[in-house]
Amino acid sequence: MRIVLVGPPGAGKGTQAAFLAKNLSIPHISTGDLFRANISQQTELGKLAKSYMDAGNLVPDEVTIGMAKDRMEQADAVGGFLLDGFPRNVSQAEALDEALKADEVKLDAVLDLEVPEDEVVKRIAGRRICRNDSAHVFHVEYKQPKSEGVCDVCGGELYQRGDDKEETVRKRLEVYHSETEPIIDHYRAQGLVVTISALGEVADVTERAMAALKKSAEA
């Protein structure tokens, strides 16, 4: 399957993407994770991306599209993938359409995770992520680790992403509404959008997502 996951920052895209990709046996491709890996390896791409990310802005399409396409061309993604955080504006969506067309393949669904705006800010400002694996996500209120600052899963250090500070979150939300939301209409015109609520327990949201994807595959 080829799936795009969309939703505002804080909708739980990274967490859901990890579970869904595992359930569907397809790779989870997150452009945010690819940028963060470049930042920790101090590559030129990482240095460029960091300035945009810390301000809550989108990294320019010139570098983002090439990076996403390179990752999609790797062997593990030939049979399908779950894209998390890409495309994030209409021109990226158009570039993805073209790349898929050139490979004579199609998207199966665009899964839209819905969550109210005040919930988003609460979720992100308290979020703590493991340095070893960004799918290990904790929260200072909703999901406290057994030992403060330490990942329950692998013992890694928990940290707050630079772009999870409240001011940056508000900027990221603004960018989501102006740049990313229009891709939902772009894909609605292709009959691909499946919307589910991202509220509630992580496992319940995964179940809802799996059921919605199954229904859309049968339609």
88 as an active site residue: the answer is yes
| Burial grade of 203 (CB within 10 A; 0-12, 13-18, 19 or more) | exposed
Least distance from C-beta 217 to ligand AMP, angstroms? 25
Q: Which residues bind ligand AMP (CB under 6 A)?
A: 9, 31-32, 35, 52-53, 57-59, 64, 85-86, 88, 92, 163, 172
- Copy the structure tokens of residue 66: 């090439």
- Taking the least distance from each CB to ligand AMP, the nearer of 53 and 209 is 53
- Taking the least distance from each CB to ligand AMP, the nearer of 57 and 216 is 57
Residue 79 assigned to a binding site = no
Least distance from C-beta 74 to ligand AMP, angstroms? 17
- Copy the structure tokens of residue 41: 């390896």
* Residue 196 main-chain phi, psi, to 5 deg: -135, 160
Query: For residue 199, what are the contacts with CB-CB under 8 A and spacing of at least 6?
Result: 115, 116, 119, 205
123 as an active site residue: the answer is no
Rounded CA gap, 73 and 57, in Å? Answer: 26
- Taking the least distance from each CB to ligand AMP, the nearer of 162 and 207 is 162
The single residue of 161, 165, 170, 171 carrying the catalytic annotation is 161
Residue 145 assigned to a binding site = no
Give the total residue count for the chain.
Answer: 219
Give the C-alpha distances (Å, rounded to integers) separating 16 from 12, 139, 149, 162.
6, 16, 22, 21
Known binding residues are 10-15, 31, 36, 57-59, 85-88, 92, 127, 137-138, 161, 172, 200
Q: Which residues are catalytic?
A: 13, 88, 127, 161, 172
